[in-house]
Amino acid sequence: MSTAKLKKEVVKHLQDKPLSLAEIAEAMELKEKRVFRLLRSLFEGGEIASKRDAEGVRKYRLTTDEEKAAAKAAAAEEAGEAVEVDEDEEDAEE
């Protein structure tokens, strides 16, 4: 299966609730190393975020639209670019 399809499957699994690396690997029947690479790519793309739970296990979750917009703005600012806001998208959210 292609990397893009596997990433979509990871996202599908994370739609219900945050999951650990081991939980995702088990659900997808993949090695943890492969799932880790998929998670890293999704994390770097701003699609997911992670947080340790009370037991210290890192759980991954989908990012919100607000988090994605903030990450995009921060990346643009770092690169010294102006950030354009699409007013149509803003109106659609309200």
CATH number belonging to domain 3-84: 1.10.10.10
The per-residue pLDDT for 89 is 47
pLDDT greater than 60 at residue 94: no
What's the pTM value of the predicted model, to 2 decimals?
Answer: 0.73
Torsions phi, psi of 57, nearest 5?
-85, 130
The per-residue pLDDT for 29 is 97
Residue-wise pLDDT tens digits, 64-92: 888 878 877 877 888 876 555 555 544 44
More confident residue, 56 or 87: 56
Distance, in Å, from the CA atom of 50 to the CA atom of 47, rounded to the nearest integer, reads 11
Q: Which of 57, 21, 17, 53 is nearest to 37 (CA)?
A: 21
Distance, in Å, from the CA atom of 34 to the CA atom of 60, rounded to the nearest integer, reads 15
Q: What percent of the chain has pLDDT over 90?
A: 63
Map out the domains of the chain as residue ranges.
3-84
Torsions phi, psi of 52, nearest 5?
-80, 140
